[in-house]
């Protein structure tokens, strides 16, 4: 519900902002998510779908990205209770060359577990390379990020985290409609390797863009 | 009388010889004025002498007829009054030949003079030709006109002739009273453009008895003026045309782009340090990217016609063809727009020796 309101708000404000030289974009996202935790006592794996939205405001070479998804993941291949997953990010990016964008921001994820909410907050640096590869309609991109700081309320000490996303964006030539399909993966290492957290999945989005 | 003439001549000689050089230049009109004064003082012999001398000077200087005519009429009258009728007739005839339109002022000259002048004018058959010095006419439209002014009623034959006298174009034959305007359409007798650059406009005057009375002739220099045709507009340069067939580059970019992107998706877990990532979602994205790449290859296959480019090129070719057609039409009009420039020379008049 929150995600829908966010997307709706971005879409409504897009027209007014475009007139001021600001290029807005908004999209609805559906993602399959698989959460895998490896600890010395064993490996747990949960899977499910999350839904949300994302919006972008671009002004010249600089853009602000906001995203929010939430959903529920259940044990993968086993029975048992699942838990809610909420994830959001706020990133500022700058296009350095036409095909390369560098960015930084905060990326947070929380799991609503029976024993309390587990929060993962990463401060990230990101780099994205993108380019057209099918006419002017389809753009491919590869993005990598690495955490330069983290705030995690788990017993293990944070070691490092990094991730990436690769996919393609299809833009219709006669309408401001964009569609996206991508594969994303985050990998965090804690406690000197005693705990490994991996979240990956397929992201499908559809939205409007005036860029 | 002779003493008076001698005295006057001596005075004139003294004035001419003794006058300063500056003053000498101002005495060019003196012989005529002195002659007229002598005529009015009834000293016709002195008047005739002064006027003859003045006319000789004007003739030597090739002065225009308008400057010679007043002296001639006074000279004729003076000769008449001093009893030299033949001389007066000759002077009046010379005057009529010089300017057939001249009439003596009947308030100045008595009927004896004017009636004699009229009789001479009636006997003398001559014509002057009056044309603008430079004219441009469109051949075939009868645009070149010449005014003929006759001394008296007569029959004239107006022709254009080659320089050797051979007939080039007949213009008019018939009577003329006071004046007549003849037209030439700028073509030769066969209706073609003049093959020569110089012709003679000849007016032959005949007495009522049919005998030749005089010939007036005017050389005309002809020049065909034809506007230049416009050059053909250059065809559009090859660089202005868009490719009508797709090159292989977009197709290969789609294919190799799909391969690279699919490879990046497949390799992403290894890049971020995870070796146990599930393969299902990745395979789905790899498949989607791969299919898109192959589809893009076929959509942009080499040699595929590009309709928007074909249309744009055709529009450019049509625009050039329209310009070519416009220039061709304009050139046809320009080729037909030939004009004939006519420059008139110095007129001459001839009289038969028998007169």
CATH number of the domain residue B222 falls in = 2.60.40.4070
In a domain, B231, yes or no: no
> Which of A34, A181, A187 is facing B278, going by the closest CB pair?
A34
Is any Cβ of chain A less than 8 angstroms from the Cβ of B288? yes
The confidence score (pLDDT) of residue A7 equals: 46
The count of structural domains within chain B is 3
Q: Are residue B116 and residue B137 in the same domain, yes or no?
A: no
In a domain, B355, yes or no: no
Residue B18 pLDDT more than 50? no
Distance, in Å, from the CA atom of B184 to the CA atom of B191, rounded to the nearest integer, reads 11
Contact assignment for B254 to A135 by CB distance below 8 Å: yes
Q: Are residue B178 and residue B69 in the same domain, yes or no?
A: no
**Among residues A156, A193, A176, A198, which one has the least CA distance to residue A44?**
A198
Angle at which helices B2-18 and B44-60 pack, to 10 degrees?
40
The confidence score (pLDDT) of residue A144 equals: 97
Residue B12 pLDDT more than 70? no
More confident residue, A21 or B345: B345
Q: Are residue B301 and residue B161 in the same domain, yes or no?
A: no
Q: Are residue B172 and residue B206 in the same domain, yes or no?
A: yes
Q: B282 to chain A: nearest residue by CA?
A: A183
Which residues of chain B neighbour A201 with C-beta distances below 8 Å? Answer: 281
The confidence score (pLDDT) of residue A23 equals: 86
Report the CATH number of the A2-209 domain.
2.40.128.100
Give me the mean pLDDT over the B31-37 stretch. Answer: 90
Domain boundary among B123, B144, B170: B123
Residue A81 pLDDT more than 90? no
Is any Cβ of chain B less than 8 angstroms from the Cβ of A34? yes
In a domain, B233, yes or no: no
Q: Are residue B114 and residue B8 in the same domain, yes or no?
A: yes
Which residues of chain A neighbour B268 with C-beta distances below 8 Å? Answer: 142, 164-166, 183, 185
- Look up the domain containing B308 and give its range: 238-336
Contact assignment for B281 to A138 by CB distance below 8 Å: no
- pLDDT band for position A180 (cuts 50, 70, 90): very high
Contact assignment for B254 to A163 by CB distance below 8 Å: no
Q: What's this model's pTM, rounded to 2 decimal places? A: 0.54
Which residues of chain A neighbour B300 with C-beta distances below 8 Å? Answer: 134-135
Site from A37, A76, A200 to mutate, B interface, most B CB atoms within 10 angstroms: A200
| Tokens representing residue A123 in the block | 């401060």
Q: Are residue B275 and residue B186 in the same domain, yes or no?
A: no
> Which of A134, A181, A202 is facing B254, going by the closest CB pair?
A134
Give me the mean pLDDT over the A175-199 stretch. Answer: 93
Q: Are residue B217 and residue B252 in the same domain, yes or no?
A: no
Domain boundary among B123, B139, B156: B123
Which residues of chain A neighbour B296 with C-beta distances below 8 Å? Answer: 133-135, 138
Q: What is the DSSP letter of B67?
A: H
Q: In B, residues 219-278, which contact A (CB 8 Å cutoff)?
A: 250, 253-254, 256-258, 260-261, 264-265, 268-269, 271-274, 276-278
More confident residue, A7 or B193: B193
> Which of A131, A134, A185 is facing B274, going by the closest CB pair?
A185
The confidence score (pLDDT) of residue B281 equals: 82
Contact assignment for A168 to B289 by CB distance below 8 Å: yes
Residue B15 pLDDT more than 80? no
> Which of B268, B295, B300 is facing A185, going by the closest CB pair?
B268
Give me the mean pLDDT over the B43-70 stretch. Answer: 90
The confidence score (pLDDT) of residue B23 equals: 36
In a domain, B284, yes or no: yes
Q: Are residue B209 and residue B272 in the same domain, yes or no?
A: no
Which residues of chain B neighbour A196 with C-beta distances below 8 Å? Answer: 274
In a domain, B95, yes or no: yes
Calculate how close chain A gets to B309, using CA atoms only, in Å: 15
User: B3-8 long-range CB contacts below 8 Å, 24 or more apart?
Assistant: B4/B43, B4/B46, B5/B43, B5/B45, B5/B46, B5/B49, B8/B38, B8/B43, B8/B46
The confidence score (pLDDT) of residue B10 equals: 41
Calculate how close chain B gets to A20, using CA atoms only, in Å: 33
Residue B16 pLDDT more than 80? no
**Among residues A91, A53, A46, A82, which one has the least CA distance to residue A70?**
A53
């Amino acid at each position: 519900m929150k995600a829908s309101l966010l997307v709706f708000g971005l879409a409504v404000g897009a027209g007014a902002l475009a007139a001021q030289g600001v290029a807005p974009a908004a999209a609805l996202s559906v993602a399959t998510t698989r959460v895998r935790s490896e600890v010395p006592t064993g490996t747990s794996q949960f899977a499910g779908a999350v839904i949300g939205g994302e919006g972008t405001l671009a002004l010249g070479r600089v853009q602000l990205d906001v995203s929010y998804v939430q959903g529920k993941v259940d044990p993968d291949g086993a029975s048992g209770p699942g838990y809610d997953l909420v994830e959001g990010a706020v990133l500022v990016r700058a296009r350095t060359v036409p095909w390369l964008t560098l960015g930084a921001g905060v990326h947070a994820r929380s799991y609503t577990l029976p024993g309390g909410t587990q929060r993962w907050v990463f401060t990230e640096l990101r780099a994205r390379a993108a380019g057209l590869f099918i006419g002017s309609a389809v753009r491919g991109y590869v993005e990598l990020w690495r955490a330069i700081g983290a705030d995690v309320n788990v017993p293990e000490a944070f070691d490092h985290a990094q991730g990436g996303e690769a996919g393609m964006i299809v833009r219709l030539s006669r309408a401001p409609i964009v569609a996206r399909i991508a594969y994303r993966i985050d990998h965090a290492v804690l406690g000197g390797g005693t705990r490994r957290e991996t979240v990956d999945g397929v992201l499908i989005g559809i939205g409007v863009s005036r860029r | 009388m002779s003493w008076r003439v001698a005295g006057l001549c001596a005075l004139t000689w003294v004035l001419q010889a003794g006058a300063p050089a500056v003053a000498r230049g101002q005495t060019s009109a003196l012989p005529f004025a002195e002659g007229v004064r002598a005529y009015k003082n009834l000293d016709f012999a002195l008047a005739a002498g002064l006027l003859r001398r003045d006319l000789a000077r004007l003739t030597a200087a090739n002065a225009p007829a308008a400057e010679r005519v007043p002296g001639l009429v006074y000279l004729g009258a003076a000769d008449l009054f001093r009893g030299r009728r033949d001389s007066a007739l000759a002077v009046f005839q010379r005057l009529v030949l010089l300017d057939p339109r001249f009439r003596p002022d009947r308030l100045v000259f008595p009927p004896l003079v004017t009636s004699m002048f009229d009789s001479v004018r009636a006997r003398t058959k001559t014509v002057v030709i009056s044309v603008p010095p430079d004219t441009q006419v469109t051949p075939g439209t009868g645009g070149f006109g010449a005014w003929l002014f006759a001394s008296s009623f007569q029959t004239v034959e107006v022709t254009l002739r080659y320089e050797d006298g051979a007939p080039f174009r007949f213009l008019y034959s018939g009577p003329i009273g006071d004046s007549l305007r003849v037209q030439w359409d700028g073509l030769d007798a066969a209706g073609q453009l003049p093959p020569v650059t110089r012709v003679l406009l000849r007016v032959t005057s005949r007495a009522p008895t049919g005998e030749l009375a005089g010939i007036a002739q005017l050389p005309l220099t002809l020049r065909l003026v034809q506007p230049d045709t416009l050059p053909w507009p250059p065809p559009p340069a090859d660089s202005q045309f868009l490719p009508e067939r797709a090159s292989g580059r977009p197709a290969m970019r789609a294919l190799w782009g799909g391969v690279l992107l699919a490879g990046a998706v497949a390799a992403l877990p290894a890049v971020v340090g995870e070796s146990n990532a599930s393969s299902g979602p990745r395979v789905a994205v790899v498949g989607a990217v791969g299919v898109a790449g192959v589809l893009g290859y076929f959509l942009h296959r080499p040699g595929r016609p590009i309709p928007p480019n074909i249309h744009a090129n055709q529009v450019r070719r049509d625009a050039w063809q329209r310009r070519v057609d416009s220039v061709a039409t304009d050139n046809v009009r320009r080729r037909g727009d030939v004009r004939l420039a006519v420059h008139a020379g110095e007129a001459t008049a001839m009289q038969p020796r028998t007169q």
